[in-house]
Structure 1
Amino acid sequence: MPKRVDHEQRRRHIADALLRVAATQGLHTAGFREVAAEAGVSVRLVQYYFQTKEQLLLFGLRRVGEQFAERVLPRLATAGLPAAGRERIEFVLLATLPLDAESRSLHVLYNQYFALALTDSSLAAQPYGSDPDALEAWLIEQLRACQADGQLPPEQDLADEALAILALGVGLGNAILGGRRSADDARRVLARHLDHRLGPPR
């Protein structure tokens, strides 16, 4: 009996190879030949699953989000944190910062895709660029729980608050990548901001 091929798994395997090449050499260098070599497959197989580099890039973008979820969700489920609130916010935001090799790679990839989307209409048209960001939506729900618990004034605009927190996270992440701030600096600044806005951990 012929071996059954999991085509979705094959596509993920190839896209993950793209991301590994991009994380070390840049998206602009990740052609079919380089991706095939990294994935340990033929160029023809890469072309079978992705007829164009654009298709491969778009699928790779989806994998960036999936890899972040694969990194954070299991840890969040076993962290013993309250169901919602400041502690969960800090935990997830710290997971987005480039504090280890894995998170650094994801941060570099996110920045590369963002830069490319500024001039590539096909990437800009993706949910990544146009729809509400999943992390922002999650953060708003967490802030809503904080508001219900009296940690934020009832008149506070939660979307603005979420945007400010996310902007801080992006800035801290880039400062770490650029060598201008240490991981300890980032942890301290984030904790101070959350203490100021939401109070200390309970």
Structure 2
Amino acid sequence: MPKQVDHEGRRRQIAEAVCLLADERGLEGVTLRDVADRAQVSMGAVQRCFRTKDEMLAFTLGHVGERITERVQARLRSSPAQSAGTALGYAATEVALLRPEHRTEARVWLAFVAQAAVSEPLAATLRANYAALQDLFTRLIAEASGPAEADEVRDADRAARALLALTDGLTAHVLIGHLTPAEAHAVLDAHLDALWRRPSR
């Protein structure tokens, strides 16, 4: 009987190998042969999963984005009684990748962000990831702000855009050593405090 291959599982296995190589060498150092070696599969297996290197990289970026989003959702599910404001703080902290155990993920994420500037397939995947996170931030800000009148919804969307941009910037600043994780947390906390103190219309 032929061996059954978990195609989606194999794709994720390859994506994890891409992440390890990207962390060590940057995306420019990722080759299909090295990915196959690191994933402990054949070149043919990689090529059956992905038609091109660009397709492999786009899948890997989506895989990383899903992992971050799933971690945020798990954090929110673990404390269902928390306020929307507290939930937003947890979510923003997860997205900023400030904890030491997320340093590898932060390096890989920023490598993809840099490559997306010259790769439309990666840029499209990145926009989808950001859109999902922005929607989550918008919902939590709207919930924390009270009844959702039209102006408040627009305010929530603008605030979510600003918060998402801030978390992304903090990832880079910590990674290059401009800020310590503690300093980045302080910046994030100050921003969230100011968000709840913003004047009402």
- The interval holding the TM-score normalised by the smaller chain is 0.7 to 0.9
Per-residue displacement from partner, 1:31-56 (whole Å, max 9, x unpaired)? 11111111111222212211211111
More helix by share: 2
Q: Does 1:169 align with 2:192?
A: no
Q: CA deviation at 1:155?
A: 8.2
Amino acid paired to 1:113:
F
Identity of aligned residues (%): 32
Q: Could you tell me which of 142, 145, 166 is aligned with 2:143? A: 145
Q: Secondary structure at the match of 1:181?
A: coil
Q: Does 1:10 align with 2:23?
A: no
Q: CA deviation at 1:185?
A: 1.0
Q: Which ranges of structure 1 fall in alignment gaps of 5 or more residues?
A: none
Q: TM-score, normalised by structure 2?
A: 0.85
Distance 1:188 1:12 in 2: 35
Question: Which position in structure 1 is the counterpart of 2:28?
Answer: 28
Distance 1:141 1:45 in 2: 41
Q: Which ranges of structure 2 fall in alignment gaps of 5 or more residues?
A: none
Question: Which position in structure 2 is the counterpart of 1:122?
Answer: 121
Q: CA deviation at 1:131?
A: 8.2
Q: Does 1:73 align with 2:103?
A: no
Over the aligned positions, Cα root-mean-square deviation in angstroms equals: 2.4
- Asked if the contact 1:36/1:46 (under 8 Å) is kept, the reply is yes
Distance 1:39 1:93 in 2: 32
Distance 1:6 1:156 in 2: 44
Structure scoring higher RCO (CA < 8 A, sep ≥ 6) equals 2
Question: Which position in structure 2 is the counterpart of 1:106?
Answer: 105
- Asked if the contact 1:68/1:106 (under 8 Å) is kept, the reply is no
Q: Does 1:198 align with 2:193?
A: no
Distance 1:60 1:179 in 2: 26
